[in-house]
Structure 1
Amino acid sequence: MGVRKPDPRIFELAAKTAGIEAGDCVLVDDLAENCEAARDQRWQAVHFRDNAQALHDLSRITGLPSIV
């Protein structure tokens, strides 16, 4: 695609390719700068530090129960 995180264009391209609005997109990434770049593009983001934390954060975002 010619771009990669944290370039803002990758988030625009990914949302467009998926056919959904940026606000409906979620990035899970272990780099804080990528999560911040996603949020700057109106995405939701989970900064992955460990499984339990990531699942908890995803549960909060999606409203689905965590499996941990």
Structure 2
Amino acid sequence: MSKDTTNTTPTHHVYVVEGKGDTAFWTKIGAAWQHADGNGLNITLTLLPLDGRVVIRTAKAGETTRRRGRGQ
């Protein structure tokens, strides 16, 4: 039996972004986990956006589910 090395903490957050620039509205819609070989992601979405663009960002401590302005 192989050892399970799955990381339970997401390595990335998934957002839908509506608008542009400093007035863009970011809403967190899911999470992603990087593959062990670094060549892909597994993505889980809690919502499916009908509009806007989907952005995947590296997870950082203290990020909120919604934010205004550019991704940081």
Q: Same fold (TM over 0.5)?
A: no
TM-score by length of 1: 0.23
TM-score norm. by structure 2 comes to 0.22
> Which structure has greater helix proportion?
1
RCO comparison, higher one (Cα < 8 Å, 6+): 2
Higher strand share: 2
Higher radius of gyration, 1 or 2: 2
